[in-house]
Amino acid sequence: MPPTDRISLAELQQRAVQARTSADLDAGASPTLRELTEALVFAPGDGRIWLNDQRMLLWRASTYGSLRRELVARLGMDGARSLLTRVGYAAGARDAELVRTLWSDSDPANVFDAGPRMHQLEGFVRPQTVAFEFDIGRGDFYAEFLWHDSSEDDEHIAAFGIGTEAACWMQLGYASGYASAFMGKLIVFRELSCRASGAEVCRIVGRPADHWPDPELDLHHFLPDASARQLNPPARAEVAPRIADIGRPLADDDSTAPAGDELPPLIGISSSFSAARHLIERVAPTSATVLFTGPSGAGKELFAQTLHRISPRAPAPFVALNCAAMPDTLIESELFGVERGAFTGATVSRPGRFERASGGTLFLDEIASLSFAAQGKLLRALQERRIERVGGVREIRVDVRVVAATNVDLREEVERGRFREDLYYRLNVFPVQLPPLKERRDDIPQLMEAFLRRYRQLHGRRVPGFTPRAVQALLQYDFPGNIRELQNLVERGVIMAGDDEPIDLHHLFRSGEGAPPQVWSLAHSGRLTEAPQPAPPATEPEGSGPKRPRPPQPKEAQRYRNALVASRYNVAEAARQLGLSRAQLAYRLKRLGIA
């Protein structure tokens, strides 16, 4: 449906009505506006707003207007437009990934139609669909929308008045990013009329970039050169995307999951995580002793491994020793080695951890559990850079970087007389504090996805992801076991969920974990309401063996049939009536042989 250059608002609205009734859309199919709204969760006590697993911000439109004015003053109109277009593009692509993950089994037409409604939910614009036609296999795409009440236009007009150019820059980027991720190729939206240039309503049209007669008019806004021209030039080459990368499909593969003994990457974006990562990057080129502190399960050994990997010592060994797992009678021989005949059973000479780590890194976990005698011998090794095997008569020079870790306050242990003060100061050359997971909640979605990919691959399961309420629960849970507990919960969920069944609450919390705190969601009326706590899963009676979810009973199958009949076989509507997600109901219907 090619766009015309001049068309009245009444004609466009009439075409919109016709297109909506003739398009291949099921008004009750997922994702509905209600389902999208329910994915928005507020946790006032935690100071966070979530759209499923994405952290959101609630800020005034006038604040955005101030930012826009500053960008125009600093970069000029074209530079500000390019920057905001790319920001919008990233947001649209991320929302497309979210919709595809949550409603993977929905009709593609409804998945694409969710994009404009997501933009509406986020408060940018009230969209009206005129037409959209697509063929993913052939790469054909055409979409046309009317945009009412654009907040971006309101702020632009307030700052600069009515001009000659369209001004919905970030919104155009969003539409392009969403459609590009949906199609797997670069889709470019253009604004053919805009309120900021005097039109009654904004009108946009989207096509593949190579279907526009002059794509270069738009493509340069998707690259950073236009807005980064006055900024730090050396950084541009490192972060600049290529045109070939724009619009690539959102691949659902496990290529980033570590295989075998490969070291998994550090994952996180929170400020506390970033601060810790920055510290190890600063100390890595040196040979300074590093002391990691933080609660159990916070990732101290992974940070130590990463420190070794990015240091000049990376080609040499990384040797770890859990001091708490070694009896006092063996710790000296483990650290320094033993000569043949030193004691009964020492039939051969054996190097200790210091020698085995020569040229590399020795990681001493739970350092506070060492006895006073062992602490004194470790102190001498650190000071002299020489060791002596148990039963030996010669000193051995060692070149080892020592990295220690503890989950207790060593300064307090020194004050109580349980840890040597001189050893504490020898270890505390470069301290790095790792926060508990509840203080870095912004990292939880990334960690969930990484663990999901890892255990899907490890256990050979086709688990598509998490239900919205499982995501909400994990985002609000306090994680007394920190990252290790999250890792265990996700692995448990992958094992418990069936193939093609998303991980839900009853797959995760099965061994007495405390319930997550109450959160708030957005009701259909637009007001915040307390999100109901899900009921615990049905289990077998006491004494009948291990507790496990009760399989669906015949009456439950009939309940599903009745809901389908009542909803005229609209699976999404039936799922809402039953209090399930569409994916959950579809899986249960398939398992029962109903659909």
Flag whether pLDDT at 118 surpasses 50: yes
pLDDT band at 586 (very low <50, low <70, confident <90, very high): confident
Give the Cα separation of 475 and 517 in Å (integer): 10
**pLDDT value, residue 231:** 39
Please report the pLDDT score of residue 236 as a whole number.
32
Residue 492 has pLDDT above 80, yes or no: yes
Amino acid letter, 426: R
At residue 306, the pLDDT reads 94
* Of residues 209 and 570, more confidently modeled: 209
Q: What is the pLDDT of residues 375-416, one digit of tens each?
A: 998 998 999 888 888 777 678 888 999 999 999 999 999 999
Q: How many CB atoms lie within 10 A of CB 504?
A: 22
Give the residue among 152, 143, 51, 141 at the shortest CA–CA distance from 99: 51
Q: Is the pLDDT of residue 364 over 50?
A: yes
What's the whole-model pTM score? 0.62
How far apart are alpha carbons 76 and 56 in whole angstroms? 28
Q: Is 269 strand, coil or helix?
A: coil
pLDDT tens per residue, range 451-481: 999 999 999 988 888 888 788 888 888 899 9
Report the C-alpha gap between 503 and 493 in whole angstroms.
Answer: 6
Give the residue from 437, 505, 448 showing the smallest Cα distance to 298: 437
Mean pLDDT across the chain: 79
Q: What pLDDT sits at residue 341?
A: 59
The domains found in the chain, sorted by start residue, are 9-245 (3.30.1380.20), 271-434 (3.40.50.300), 437-533 (1.10.8.60), 538-595 (1.10.10)
- Burial of 494 per CB tally in 10 Å (0-12, 13-18, 19+): buried
pLDDT in the model for residue 221: 86
Residue 538's pLDDT is what? 41
- The predicted-structure confidence for 11-55, as pLDDT tens digits, reads as follows 545 544 433 333 455 666 778 777 787 778 787 777 788 887 788
What is the rounded CA–CA span in Å between residue 204 and residue 179?
A: 13
- CA geometry: angle at 153 spanning 152 and 157, to 5°? 125
**What ranges make up the beta strands (E) of 18-73?**
40-43, 48-51, 54-56
Identify the band that residue 489 occupies on the pLDDT scale cut at 50, 70 and 90. Answer: very high
pLDDT by residue (tens digit) across 218-252? 888 887 654 444 434 333 333 333 334 444 433 34
The confidence score (pLDDT) of residue 412 equals 93
The larger pLDDT score, comparing residue 526 to residue 537, is at: 526
Q: 489 near 504, Cβ under 8 Å?
A: no
What is the reported pLDDT for 73?
Answer: 92
Q: Which are the contacts of 516, defined by CB distance < 8 A and separation ≥ 6?
A: 472, 473, 474, 476, 477, 478
Is the pLDDT at 358 greater than 60, yes or no?
yes
Using one digit for the tens of pLDDT, what is the confidence trace for 274-311? 899 999 999 999 999 999 999 999 999 999 999 999 99
Distance CA 449, CA 209 (A): 31
Most confident residue range from 16-25, 32-41, 130-139, 316-325: 316-325
